[in-house]
Amino acid sequence: MSAEIYSMTFRRYSLPFRQPVRTAHGAWTRREGVIVRLSNERGSTGLGEAAPIPWFGTETADEAAAACERLGARVSREQIEAIPERLGCLKFALASARAECAAADGVDAGPDDYLTVAALLPAGRAALEVAAQRAEAGFRTFKWKVGVADALDELVLLDDLLAALPAGARLRLDANGAWDRRTAERWLGRCADLPMVEFIEQPVAAATPDRETDARARSNAMDLLLGLAGDFPVPLALDESVASSRDVAHWLDAGWPGLFVLKPSLLGDAAGTLGRLRAAGGDAQDGGRVVFSSALETAVGARAALEWALRWKAENFRFSILDSRLGAAAPDSQMERQLHQSRIENRKSKIFRAAGFGVWPLFEDARFNGPEAAPFVRARDIRLLDGEAAWNALS
């Protein structure tokens, strides 16, 4: 059998955000990355995006572009699969382009399937105004960036924000690793009595094998996170700590009891990572331990990441009904059918947490934006994202 060979081209991009993204890592003003294009001998083409976040421990955009130069104008499937973990964003980009090129790895989902979406709130008091706007638009899950200002000031603001959210809303707090142990314990103690807080994301800094060579530092960081997860009832989620497939395996082996916030664009081997999480119970019926999130990509990367989230939801639901009476024959009467459908929708809601993709529009040039922030994103809308427009805009 002949080797599967693709023609490859790539384009660098550096796009200013419409507004700087403020996190505990500082103000992020520009999105830099690489868009790759593959073509096979049958004339099919596919696009993928390497959207690194270097302070998460990924490669840089320069490193991804340099690796593309080394690969050259023709690349094989074997070369793509052999790309090392340290170039995980590029590996994801090429795998996405190859899957799109083959048109054989699409999501098994109907046009009416959808993902619930969490709204991203800015740091500081600006969160109050944005939360009101997002609530009016129908959002019921919100993510607030903390660890940016003084911790005591943010704790006071937390009360104001919770009071402003609609009944039944859920709030995620994302510290981006900004807190020390004492600050994290103060927040966890306060949130223990706040049922609207869904989870706290990356309360203290990450130290993983990919980004930290000091074994003692790695052990201390892991012990601190595991200790916090065991000492408080508030669920904790890893984000910066799981920026690669290797990271996820590392934390699964350590027995992490909390959630995993996954940015598919950073993972490299998304299929293998999600397979390990499913085997470890990542599709548990309490809403699951996996939360999909944007890496603030362009439309090219957004489409690939959203399709992974949609696939996870669809596959987990299929596994779910095998162990329930929902897989039985459909009932006969209209009332029974309505009840049956209601149970199905309820089951779907319990196996998928709102995805962290309520971030667009990020860029002034609309050709680069993912789907407009909305409480739901449908499969049909994901497939309408026009990566070619973004590619052509870089010519």
Are the C-beta atoms of 86 and 108 separated by less than 8 Å? no
Sort 51 into a burial class: Cβ within 10 Å, 0-12 / 13-18 / 19+.
buried
Cα(185)–Cα(179) distance, integer angstroms: 9
Identify the active-site residue in 145, 313, 348, 350.
145
Is 174 known as a binding-site position?
yes
Does a cis peptide bond (omega within 30 degrees of 0) precede residue 233?
no
Tokens 């660890």 belong to residue: 147
Are the C-beta atoms of 260 and 237 separated by less than 8 Å? yes
Q: Which of 118, 165, 175 is nearest to 359 (CA)?
A: 118
Are the C-beta atoms of 48 and 394 separated by less than 8 Å? no
Cα(172)–Cα(260) distance, integer angstroms: 13
Is 239 known as a binding-site position?
yes
145 is catalytic: yes
Strand, coil or helix: what is 312? helix
Are the C-beta atoms of 286 and 258 separated by less than 8 Å? no
φ, ψ of residue 368 to 5 degrees: the values are: -100, -5
Contacts of 368 (CB under 8 A, 6+ apart): 13, 15, 298, 299, 362, 390, 393
Are the C-beta atoms of 53 and 85 separated by less than 8 Å? no
Q: Which of 240, 238, 180 is nearest to 204 (CA)?
A: 180
Identify the active-site residue in 91, 263, 348, 350.
263
Cα(252)–Cα(254) distance, integer angstroms: 5
Are the C-beta atoms of 148 and 24 separated by less than 8 Å? yes
Cα(145)–Cα(123) distance, integer angstroms: 5
Cα(393)–Cα(395) distance, integer angstroms: 6
Cβ atoms within 10 A of the Cβ of 45, count? 17
Interstrand relation of 5-23 and 74-76 (parallel, antiparallel or unpaired) = antiparallel
143 is catalytic: no
Name the binding residues for Mg(2+): 174, 201, 239
> Which residues participate in catalysis according to the annotation?
145, 263
